[in-house]
């Protein structure tokens, strides 16, 4: 009884606007099970968490055509160093960009494969999917050490096409079809190098 008297006394002191606000909040709580401001705060927190996750999974450094390494390799020199592989991939990107095959500023990590892995393949692309939100990505592109520069660049052009197909969101295709497309692009790269040499 005392509680009811106290509530009535408090209500008598409230202005009409405050009374209307209390009625609205009570209606919200009955309808949603909690005040709307708590729902909005939870939503804002969720959006913030998704934005943080997305930002965390973005590449650290954007690739630009004008940031190419200043390393020049003769076509038949052997590739054994990380700087050589990075320079070759950068050249591959520039040549293929001229033909409309570009990943924009998406950086690609390229590395020399360890001895055991490189006996089986000349190049390898490590694709990843990050949940949620689902983001396709490329963890790294691997290259067998000891190839000549021109052979290594041709392999990198092949692997670059695998990356391009994956990051463009192409649906899964038959392995023979994907490999055929990648071989076609590596041939296009070699042909372009003959006809339009890099500066």
pLDDT digits (tens, 9 = 90+) for 88-113: 999 999 999 988 998 888 888 899 98
Task: Indicate the pLDDT class of residue 164, thresholds 50, 70 and 90.
Answer: very high
Asked whether the predicted pLDDT for residue 136 surpasses 90, the reply is no
**Which position has the higher pLDDT, 41 or 69?**
41
Q: Above 80 in pLDDT, residue 134?
A: no
Q: Which of 36-40, 144-148, 160-164, 166-170 has the lowest mean pLDDT?
A: 36-40
Query: 113: which 2 tokens?
Result: 């494969």
Whole-number pLDDT of residue 117: 64
pLDDT of residue 104: 84
Show contacts of 65-68: CB within 8 Å, 24+ apart: 65/93, 65/94, 65/97, 68/94
> What is the predicted pLDDT for the residue at 159?
94
| pLDDT of res. 16 | 78
pLDDT reported for residue 59: 52
- Average pLDDT value over all residues in the chain: 81
Q: Show Cβ contacts of residue 155 under 8 Å, excluding neighbours closer than 6 positions.
A: 122, 123, 143, 144, 147, 186
What pLDDT is attached to residue 174?
93
Peptide bond into 163 cis (omega under 30): no
DSSP 31-60: HHSS-HHHHHHHHHHHHHHHHHHHHHTS-S
Average pLDDT for 75-80: 88
pLDDT at 184 over 90: yes
Mean pLDDT of 12-29: 77
More confident residue, 101 or 132: 101
Q: What is the pLDDT of residue 158?
A: 95
């Amino acid at each position: 009884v005392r509680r009811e008297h106290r509530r009535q006394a408090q209500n008598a002191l409230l202005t009409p606007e405050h009374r209307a606000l209390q009625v609205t909040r009570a209606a919200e709580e009955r309808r949603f099970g909690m005040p709307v401001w708590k729902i909005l705060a939870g939503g804002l927190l969720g959006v913030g968490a998704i934005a943080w996750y997305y930002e965390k999974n973005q590449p650290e450094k954007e690739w630009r055509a004008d940031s190419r390494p200043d390393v020049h390799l003769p076509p038949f020199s052997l590739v054994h160093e990380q700087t050589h592989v990075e320079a070759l991939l950068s050249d591959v990107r520039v040549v293929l960009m001229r033909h409309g095959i570009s990943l924009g500023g998406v950086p690609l990590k390229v590395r020399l494969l360890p001895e055991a892995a490189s006996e089986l393949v000349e190049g390898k692309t490590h694709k990843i999917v990050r949940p949620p939100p689902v983001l396709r990505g490329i963890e790294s592109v691997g290259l067998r050490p000891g190839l000549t520069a021109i052979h290594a660049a041709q392999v990198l052009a092949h692997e670059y096409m695998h990356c391009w197909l994956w990051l463009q969101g192409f649906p899964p295709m038959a392995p023979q079809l994907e490999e055929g497309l990648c071989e076609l692009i590596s041939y296009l790269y070699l042909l372009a190098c003959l006809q339009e040499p890099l500066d």
